[in-house]
């Protein structure tokens, strides 16, 4: 950790006070307020000097000549990186987390869906979760299902994720050949989807013509699954929480954020990047084109089963975010989630 002397202890304290006050009230904050509340025992004139310096350095901004100061994205960044001791969650929040994880839950996807709601309740922002992708985990089972004029191939992943593809029934496929193909598929398990698919292709090569057609089609479907796993890749909960902030935002901004929540890909990218960080990671406004575009901040953390990464959870909200609470909540939930996932996997 870079030490605070980079800024000087007092400047750091001022910055911190500005961020916290602004996050609390939403109003630009003046030197007087800081002088009173920061506990620095120093006059507002001194604070003004410090603030001017902080503005010069890019940590604070000035909506107009005679308004108070507002943190810039850089200011939030410094705040997040350097300043506060890790926050303890409030008792009620800890109870909410404990209560949630006290339920018996066996299906990871259900758990994650609940997690997004939990996070949104804890933070008042929108909760996010990326479940483990079936493309990357070992396949527990492949099934072939007769739907009449079509067939379905169905894959169950190690963590209970299910994906399926429907494809046309090959011409003149006999009951018998279908049954055979089905049984062969059932023998494939324990390997990642890519290998499973290779195994199916091998079987196709060995099999009789009729059977080959089904297996090739099934392998095709598995390939598609690998490339573009079923939605949703991104679970979202508590979007309604954004509605409040939304009123202040410009409508174009809101629109884009909502589109991104639906389109998924942008946020998935952001979350995946965040997931590689190990601990809680924070992306603030202009630090990333996407968050910049929608004036938002993202707090995210990965979760694991044992030592294998499974996915990422997080929250999105306005850059004027209560970062401490958000980070503490995401961290705590990710930890409990990893414990649960490890247990489930065992």
* Chain residues in the site for its own copies (CB under 8 A): 106-107, 113, 140-141, 143, 145-150, 152, 154, 156, 158, 160, 162, 164-168, 231, 237-240, 242-244, 246-247, 251, 254-256, 258-259, 261-262, 344-346
CB 344 to its own copies: min, Å: 7
48 contributes a contact to DNA by CB under 7 A: yes
15 contributes a contact to DNA by CB under 7 A: no
| H or E element at residue 305 | strand 296-305
- Bridge partners of residue 15, in order along the sequence: none
Segment interacting with DNA, rule: CB under 7 A, options 48-56, 93-101, 179-187, 288-296: 48-56
Could you tell me the sign of the dihedral formed by the alpha carbons of 309, 312, 76, 39, in that order?
Answer: negative
Segment interacting with DNA, rule: CB under 7 A, options 63-71, 126-134, 145-153, 326-334: 63-71
Scan residues 17-46 and list those touching DNA (CB under 7 A).
27-33, 41-46
Q: How far apart are CA 194 and CA 180, in angstroms?
A: 22
Q: How far apart are CA 95 and CA 332, in angstroms?
A: 12
3-state secondary structure of 181: helix
227 contributes a contact to DNA by CB under 7 A: no
Distance (Å) of CA 194 to CA 142, 235, 277, 293, 328: 13, 25, 26, 36, 37
Distance (Å) of CA 311 to CA 98, 101, 226, 326: 21, 18, 17, 18
Among positions 67, 106, 166, 205, the unique one binding DNA when judged by CB under 7 A:
67
61 contributes a contact to DNA by CB under 7 A: no
288 contributes a contact to DNA by CB under 7 A: no
Given the rule CB under 7 A, which residues bind DNA?
A: 27-33, 41-46, 48-49, 51-52, 55, 62, 64-69
């Amino acid at each position: 950790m870079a030490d605070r002397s980079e800024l000087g202890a007092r400047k750091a304290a001022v910055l911190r006070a500005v961020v916290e006050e602004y996050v609390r009230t939403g109003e630009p904050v003046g030197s007087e307020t800081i002088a009173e509340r920061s506990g620095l025992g120093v006059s507002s004139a001194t604070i003004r000097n410090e603030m001017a310096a902080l503005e010069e350095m890019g940590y604070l901004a000035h909506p107009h000549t005679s308004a108070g100061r507002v943190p810039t994205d850089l200011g939030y960044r410094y705040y997040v990186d350097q300043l506060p001791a890790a926050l303890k969650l409030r008792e009620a929040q800890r109870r909410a987390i404990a209560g949630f994880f006290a339920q018996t839950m066996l299906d990871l996807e259900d758990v994650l869906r609940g997690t997004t709601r939990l996070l949104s309740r804890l933070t008042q922002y929108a909760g996010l979760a990326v479940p483990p992708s079936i493309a990357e985990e070992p396949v527990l089972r492949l099934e072939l299902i007769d739907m009449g004029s079509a067939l379905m191939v169905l894959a169950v992943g190690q963590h209970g994720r299910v994906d399926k593809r429907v494809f046309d029934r090959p011409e003149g496929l006999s009951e018998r050949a279908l049954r055979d193909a089905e049984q062969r598929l059932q023998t494939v398990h324990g390997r990642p989807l890519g290998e499973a698919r290779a195994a199916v292709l091998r079987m196709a090569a060995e099999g009789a013509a009729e059977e080959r057609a089904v297996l090739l089609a099934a392998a095709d479907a598995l390939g598609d699954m690998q490339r573009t796993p079923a939605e949703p890749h991104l679970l979202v909960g508590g979007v309604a929480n954004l509605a409040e902030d939304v009123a202040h935002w410009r409508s174009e901004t809101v629109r884009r954020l909502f589109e991104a929540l639906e389109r998924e890909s942008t946020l998935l990218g952001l979350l995946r990047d965040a997931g590689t960080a190990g601990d809680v990671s924070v992306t603030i406004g202009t630090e990333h084109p996407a968050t910049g575009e929608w004036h938002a901040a993202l707090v995210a953390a990965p979760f694991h089963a044992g030592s294998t990464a499974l996915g990422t959870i997080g929250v999105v909200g306005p850059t004027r975010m209560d970062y401490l609470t958000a980070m503490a909540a995401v961290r705590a939930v990710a930890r409990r989630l990893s414990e649960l996932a490890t247990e489930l996997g065992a």
